[in-house]
Structure 1
Amino acid sequence: MEENDLNQLHEWGLRVSRLLELIALTNRTLHLHQEEGGSDAQINDYKFLLSQHQSELDDLMRNYGLRVQISSLESAA
């Protein structure tokens, strides 16, 4: 593997890590708004943001032939 390939892989890893962090934070914020009776507009905004983060993560993972499934603990059986 060449140095340029390693640099690209490192950058990819940083982006994946950041997106996972954003997904976790957005999901937590969404649940807080749902539990505290946030407005429908707020809840919908956070759901949209969450789907954007997940879509971007899916695209990044697909570049390396990978797939990640993320689900909340409440929905995991």
Structure 2
Amino acid sequence: MKDKVKTYLRGLVLILALILLGIVGFIALGIITLGIFIVLGIIFICIAIIALLLTPYYFAKDYKVKSKKFKLKKVKKKEKL
């Protein structure tokens, strides 16, 4: 009788351990997934900020620096025939 109870308890503990391991694994997977999305979001925000900072340099060829104070004056483009 004692052996049957021990076997039953071992099986019950094994099942509970597997359920607990599954729950912990599921939570860990969720945390890892959230971490990946947070890192990707930070990377995309950095790319957007860099793009916004570099945008004036792409449009700067349409302007001419008037003085050392960097007053920009619009340059008229010559139309090509």
Alignment TM-score, normalising by the size of structure 2: 0.42
Greater relative contact order (Cα < 8 A, sep 6+): 1
Structure (1 or 2) with the larger CA radius of gyration:
2
Query: Which of the pair is proportionally richer in strand?
Result: 2
Query: Normalising by structure 1, what TM-score?
Result: 0.44
